[in-house]
Amino acid sequence: MSELPRYVEIGNTPPAWREVVKVARYDYHLSLSPPVWERVSAARQVVEKIAASSVPHYGINTGLGALCDVVLAHDELQGLSHHTLMSHACGVGTPLRTEQVRAIMCSAVVNYSHGYSGISPDVVEGLIRLVNEHITPIVPSRGSVGYLTHMAHIGLVLIGHGDVEFRGQRIPAKQALDAIGMVPVTLGPKDGLSLVNGTPAMTGLACLALDDAARLSAWADIIGAMSFEALGGQLNAFMAEVTALKCHPGVQQTGDNLRRLLADSAHLARHKGQRLQDALSLRSMPQVHGACRDQLDHAARQVEKELHSATDNPLVIPVEDGYQVVSQANPHGASVAMACDLLAIAACEWSSISERRAYRLVTPQANQLPPFLTTESGVKSGMMIAHYSAASLVADNKRLAQPAVTDNFITSGLQEDHLSFGESAALKLDKTLDNAFYVLAIEYLLASQALDLIGSDEFAKGTSLAWKSLRDVLPAYQEEQALHLDIEAAYQCLKETQVIDKLLSIAPNLLPSRQPSD
């Protein structure tokens, strides 16, 4: 018997960013409550009425962008929507991942659910059907200055054009629609513009990045604690009385995590007082990891506020004597772009300080461990070159940490002369986070190898659990297989949450538990 699908229903309360992740990453189905459908339909009735008139309203019965002064006849409006998708679907390059496209489609439905867009309910229903039937449009990843192109490729599928991923194959969209008995959507006034407009693409991508960054924040504290213990760090730097004097919430969370993960370590007790202070990459973990956690919290608030916003143009606004169609700039994605740029800096910092700890683990002059974490140095190189890989990835991250939002171009015949590059910001954040996971995977390998070589059974309960969890899937490295295989295996461990879930009973602040608040 197959399991019944789990649902995310969009109702009067706007969804949290985690709800988008459930749909995109964990295959929840999507639905709208009856009151939401009523909002969508009410705004659509306004659009239909305006479309039948001769009074120009941008995007409903006029051309787009620099052609906004061109008034179109009613029988031209379906063609306008059709041609909008065709001309705007001009992305290039490697397609987005399935989960990324699903996140964008979910965010688009959320955007329309506010009831200010005026899009046809048939279009919204079609998007929901694609999500729930797991028909995923093939969407090229590159070519957006902030919106338009990604959603245009998704819109093509609704009208039976383009390619999709369906049941493990890439097939024409019309073939997939036929397989589920779905008739291509007939677009009407404003539908094409509403499909390509707004910030759903960058917002959906950002929701996935938040989920990854939350998991990265936990692993950074876990693996950092392992390295700290392997290197015989001085616990006084993490005293609650010390971190309490740094008034940032993230510092308090990371400090608490480290104290709990390292509690009752007899190994560290033996190293107490061996040096006056440790290197900054060890003793500043509460301050650095904590600052990164604070940026994650800020980014989550910004992204969630965008998810709760109506970002179409024009918008159908209720006024005292009915409705007013207003052309404005809510599709500008500056808030999401800045949030993604800031979180990319945080991800770079998580990876940068991890690489510094990895360096100390493999460098004989910086520790009391066997050189390069092998007992046969000379004939074996141990973990020497794994650190090189970490350094390369961090160098990439430093370049990716450069902001996208500060760039600018003039497009659409002088009409759109300030751009957010929010999708570029979200996509480079995705790459930065992936690099950071690999850097931490390398540190995880090195710290575990160091604990193997120390060979003590007197490590802290938290770090021991993390160490043994890796050893459950991967033995100590003996140079009998290519090291990249071990790195990939450790990386896969970090992409899951099982170890984090086990450690939450020891350090409950590992995963950010606070919902973003106003």
Question: What pLDDT is stored for residue 164 in this prediction?
Answer: 98
**Per residue in 70-109, pLDDT tens?**
777 777 888 888 999 999 999 999 999 999 999 999 999 9
Which SS3 state, helix, strand or coil, does residue 171 take?
strand
Closest CA to 512 of 208, 249, 248: 249
Question: What pLDDT is stored for residue 516 in this prediction?
Answer: 37
State the Cα–Cα distance between residues 359 and 366, nearest whole angstrom. 8
Residue 90 near residue 133, CB atoms below 8 Å = no
**Per residue in 71-81, pLDDT tens?**
777 778 888 88
Whether 28 is catalytic? no
Question: What pLDDT is stored for residue 64 in this prediction?
Answer: 65
Residue 93 near residue 144, CB atoms below 8 Å = no
One-letter amino acid of 64: L
Question: What pLDDT is stored for residue 2 in this prediction?
Answer: 59
User: Which one is catalytic: 7, 26, 28, 58?
Assistant: 58
- Pick the range with the lowest mean pLDDT from 57-61, 96-100, 387-391, 451-455: 57-61
pTM of the model: 0.94
pLDDT beyond 60 at 129: yes
Region of residue 279 (phi > 0: left; psi between -120 and 50: alpha; otherwise: beta): beta
Closest CA to 147 of 341, 379, 421, 468: 421
Compute φ and ψ for 142, nearest 5 degrees: -115, 155
Question: What pLDDT is stored for residue 428 in this prediction?
Answer: 97
State the Cα–Cα distance between residues 445 and 487, nearest whole angstrom. 7
pLDDT band at 462 (very low <50, low <70, confident <90, very high): very high
**Per residue in 15-54, pLDDT tens?**
999 999 999 999 999 999 999 999 999 999 999 988 888 7
Compute φ and ψ for 137, nearest 5 degrees: -55, 145
Percentage of the chain surpassing pLDDT 90? 77
State the Cα–Cα distance between residues 406 and 390, nearest whole angstrom. 28
One-letter amino acid of 121: P
Question: What pLDDT is stored for residue 299 in this prediction?
Answer: 97
**Per residue in 329-359, pLDDT tens?**
999 999 999 999 999 999 999 999 999 999 9
**Per residue in 166-202, pLDDT tens?**
999 999 999 999 999 999 999 999 999 999 999 999 9
Question: What pLDDT is stored for residue 151 in this prediction?
Answer: 95
Which SS3 state, helix, strand or coil, does residue 468 take?
helix
- Pick the range with the lowest mean pLDDT from 2-11, 286-295, 382-391, 492-501: 2-11
Cis preceding linkage at 371, omega within 30: no
| Measured CA angle at 184 (ends 182, 188), to 5 deg | 135
- What the block records as the tokens of 226 is 């392992």
Please state, as a whole number, how many other Cβ atoms lie within 10 Å of the Cβ of residue 398.
Answer: 14
